[in-house]
Amino acid sequence: MTMLLALNDVHKSFGALKVTDGISLSVNQGETLGILGPNGAGKTTLFNLISGDIQPDQGSITFGGTDISGLPAHKRCRLGVGRSYQVPQPYSGLTVFENCLVAATAGAQLPEEEAYVVCHDVLQSTGLLNKANQLAGSLTLLNRKRLELARALCTRPKLLLLDEIAGGLTEHEAKALVDEIKAIKARGVTMIWIEHVVHALLAVADRLFVLNFGARLAEGAPTDVMNDPEVKRVYMGLDA
Ligand SMILES: Nc1ncnc2c1ncn2[C@@H]1O[C@H](COP(=O)(O)OP(=O)(O)OP(=O)(O)O)[C@@H](O)[C@H]1O
């Protein structure tokens, strides 16, 4: 198996608050790593560190064998690190297609002709093609989530970071989104997925990593992690 991403003893504090406390983890090519953890455990901060939105105080991050620790977010994006945000952040005054075009051109720096093709293909695969000319601000929650996914895919990521994409959806909608995420996985995209909707995560994840107070609480095969007494106690509030 080829390793795509590796974090080595990564630390981050905000003032006196230690939010990432010596995280080491790796993700193999084609793998989906699920991340669980209570509110405030430092999950989104971990994504910010991987995407380059913030820089670690200590530790290193390698991607495809290259040390990307010092690179800004836009350079990591061009190398193939794509992400969605917990709160969808489309340009609401632009259409769905234009939002995708911004991601493909400004984000991934694809030449315009290629960008049009990529946007078309991504909108088709995310079920948004018939909404292409609709303003992003007028979309339903499910379609906003799809657009969030589509915008990340338009940067043609090798690694896709999904931040709580299933939250707030009905059971039926979450299932539709999970099917789309499964299809992305089947195309070979490596993913890290932070998700509170555990059954959605379990439908796709090959491995789970549980964060608590910025540190690793458990890691391993999904069934083993879900049966771990510490995980049940800390994360799910159940007695072991
Ligand atoms: N830029 C920042 N400045 C100061 N504190 C921050 C900053 N970003 C995050 N924090 C704090 O770091 C802690 C971890 O936040 P983070 O968003 O990473 O947690 P999370 O596990 O993603 O939580 P949730 O599940 O609620 O989204 C929180 O206490 C948060 O308030």
Burial class (CB in 10 A: 0-12, 13-18, 19+), 223: exposed
Q: Taking residues 180-209, what's their average pLDDT?
A: 95
Contacts of 23 (CB under 8 A, 6+ apart): 7, 9, 10, 11, 46, 59, 211, 214, 215, 216
Is residue 238 over pLDDT 90?
Answer: no
Domains of the chain by start residue, with CATH: 1-80+159-240 (3.40.50.300), 88-156 (no CATH)
Angle, CA 11 vertex, CA 5 and CA 15 arms, to 5°: 140
Is residue 85 over pLDDT 70?
Answer: yes
Distance 190 CA to ligand 1 centre (A): 24
Distance 54 CA to ligand 1 centre (A): 12
Q: Best of 43, 48, 83, 217 to mutate for ligand 1, by most ligand atoms within 8 A of CB?
A: 43
Find out whether the beta carbon of 12 lies less than 6 Å from any atom of ligand 1.
no
Q: Best of 23, 44, 55, 201 to mutate for ligand 1, by most ligand atoms within 8 A of CB?
A: 44
Find out whether the beta carbon of 14 lies less than 6 Å from any atom of ligand 1.
yes
Is residue 157 over pLDDT 70?
Answer: yes
Distance 229 CA to ligand 1 centre (A): 25
Q: Tokens in use for 235?
A: 């994360």
Q: What percent of the chain has pLDDT over 90?
A: 87
Global pTM value: 0.93
Per-residue pLDDT at 236: 63
Find out whether the beta carbon of 52 lies less than 6 Å from any atom of ligand 1.
no
pLDDT averaged over every residue in the chain: 93
Angle, CA 2 vertex, CA 68 and CA 100 arms, to 5°: 60
Contacts of 11 (CB under 8 A, 6+ apart): 18, 20, 21, 22, 23, 56, 57, 58, 59
Closest Cα to atom 30 of ligand 1: 40
Convert the pLDDT of each residue in 143-156 to its tens digit.
999 999 999 999 99
Give phi and psi for 56, each to the nearest 5. -70, 155
Find out whether the beta carbon of 19 lies less than 6 Å from any atom of ligand 1.
yes
Distance 195 CA to ligand 1 centre (A): 15
Give phi and psi for 75, each to the nearest 5. -75, -35
Distance 187 CA to ligand 1 centre (A): 32
Convert the pLDDT of each residue in 89-115 to its tens digit.
788 999 999 999 999 998 889 999 999
Three-class HEC string of the chain:
CCEEEEEEEEEEEECCEEEEEEEEEEEECCCEEEEECCCCCCHHHHHHHHHCCCCCCEEEEEECCEECCCCCHHHHHHHCEEECCCCCCCCCCCEHHHHHHHHHHHHCCCCHHHHHHHHHHHHHHCCCHHHCCCEHHHCCHHHHHHHHHHHHHCCCCCEEEEECCCCCCCHHHHHHHHHHHHHHHHCCCEEEEECCCHHHHHCCCCEEEEEECCEEEEEECHHHHHHCHHHHHHCCCCCC
Closest Cα to atom 16 of ligand 1: 42
User: So what's the ipTM on this one?
Assistant: 0.95
Closest Cα to atom 24 of ligand 1: 39
